[in-house]
Amino acid sequence: MQLLYALKEHNGGKLNSHLWFFNAFAEQLNPTYTVLVDVGTIPAESSVFRLIRSMERNYQIGGVAGEIAVDKPNYFNPVVAAQHFEYKISNIMDKSLESVFGFISVLPGAFSAYRFEAIRAVKGVGPLPEYFKSLTSTTKELGPFQGNMYLAEDRILCFELLAREGRQWTMHYVKDAIARTDVPETLVDLIKQRRRWLNGSFFAGLFAIGHFGRVWRLSAHSPSRKLVFTLQFLYLAVQNFLSWFLLSNLYLTFYFVLTLALHSPTNATPNAILEVILTVYLAIVGGLLVFALGNKPEPKTASFYLFSCLYLGIVMMVVTGLSFYGLVAKGVTAVDPRQNLTDCPVSKLELTGGVVSSLGLVFMSAFLHGEFSILLSFVQYFFMLPTFVSNLHDLSWGTKGLESGGGHGPAKQAGGNVKDVVAQQKKLEAARQVAAKEKEDVDNSFRAFRSTLLLSWLTTNALWMYIIMTCVATSCYLKYLSYIVACFNIIRFVGATTFLALRICRRFGIGGCVKGVSKDTYDRQLPPEWQAHRTGQAARFRPQETLQPSPRGPYNAV
């Protein structure tokens, strides 16, 4: 195996390294496949081979993702154990479902691979230029929406790959390609990481949903495949919509469950306990918003975050326990204090279905995939669930050990006479003033965007809480909330089992299963209107005809 070791003088971040990798090295080496592995990620012995083999068998696959697993999870550390559960369920249910559709919303840069032809720029147009837009554009040019969106540049690359003009690339999840990675072990480090993840995924999701029309207009996918993608994006749109109201729905769930458990028309003590619990909960949420607006999660604020995590986690566990006890043992039979609202009858079948769909399908999917270790971490996950808050004005990457500087450092000034030095100092001072004014304008625009979005988020969630608390009975809200959870989990369970069925089918060559699409078959499947486009693009695609074939065998990968 031929190796080329490249070392940057300064740590400019992961994306800067990818810029060098793709635009400097890959453009010259002209590989068939490119594999991305983060520092701190350890692929298993055959994982890289499995990623490349998946694309080798099916020419239509433009990108693949392996399974990211927590390296040596410490189940006694709730921060690590919660991430272990989250990673497992994300791979089992979400990535399996998306792989069945053919579009994976994010191929993680920690461990993934791309067919270079699928992402390579042609005359400056393609997925890669969009991937590097946050590096090639100034913060002012990006604006606050794209600035936050490109914190999840992996998601943008996946969408650009799917919607590429004249092509029909898909993405695939390779379950057997396992790579273990280190994860944040403290609450402060976890919040720093999720601040970037939540911002980027939310805005990148809005971008993909808003530009989905490009898949129909520009891509060469078949009509049936485009219809499948339409269903998937409808699912993603509903998911994004519900995530917007997650804050209010979490409070409403706490409020209704605790009200049913503690409200008493005759005894004032349970009512007082209920008021204290809900008041402290609202105070903590308000405190988190204040801290998020004015501070970064540093060790100085760690005590407040720790208290918030413990309190919200305890409330979450109490509410979850009361929910299962109320549904399984006696049903929703407690008296709603709002006597003017009509209750919704809940049958025993609906109660059983709610319990099975909320947790049963998750565990069934995990067991079918052979992942029994989630039994040791699901309690920690539910405890940590309500603790994440994001920052909309902070575009820092949150990369561990990232230096404040980048590039190769400032150039040294050459000597000169006094007049030259004075003139140069005046130019530098004028440039500093212009840069300071531009930075102030950009900061003001980001603050205005953050304030507007935050106000909209709080207003809509408060309005939703008011409507539900005044117009909807407790039993009705909990009943229809369980319906929504059931629908999402059923869809994910069907996706997880379908993924397994197709995997077994392809492995044993059962009739009716498509093992892969060869390059010739891929070209023949292109619609007639794209044939000329495909031929012309191929002619422009490899301008350096003098490049010799790689001596590395059939898998020409970088």
Catalytic residue numbers, as ranges: 154
Q: How far does Cα 90 stand from its chain's mean position?
A: 10
How many CB atoms are located within 10 Å of the residue 241 CB? 10
Those residues with Cβ within 8 angstroms of residue 115's Cβ, 6 or more apart along the chain or in another chain: 32, 33, 55, 61, 62, 63, 169
Residue where the block lists tokens 């699912």: 235
Is 41 within 8 Å of 25 (Cβ atoms)? no
**Phi and psi at residue 486, in whole multiples of 5°?**
-65, -45
Whole-angstrom Cα distance, residue 556 to residue 550? 6
370 φψ region: left (φ > 0), alpha (ψ -120 to 50), beta (else): left
Taking the C-alpha atoms of residue 145 and residue 143, their distance in angstroms, rounded to an integer, is 6
* β 170-181/61-70 pair status: parallel
Identify whether the C-beta of residue 18 lies closer than 8 Å to the C-beta of residue 91.
Answer: no
* Residues near 200 by beta carbon (within 8 Å), at least 6 away in sequence: 148, 149, 150, 151, 152, 153, 155
Amino acid letter, residue 284: I
Positions of E strands within 443-538: none
Angle (CA) 306-312-315 rounded to 5° is 140
Contact in structure between 489 and 362 (CB atoms under 8 Å): yes
Lookup: tokens for 497: 């089992």
Residue 257 and residue 474: Cα distance in Å, rounded?
8
Angle at Cα 483 formed by Cα 478 and Cα 487, nearest 5°? 150
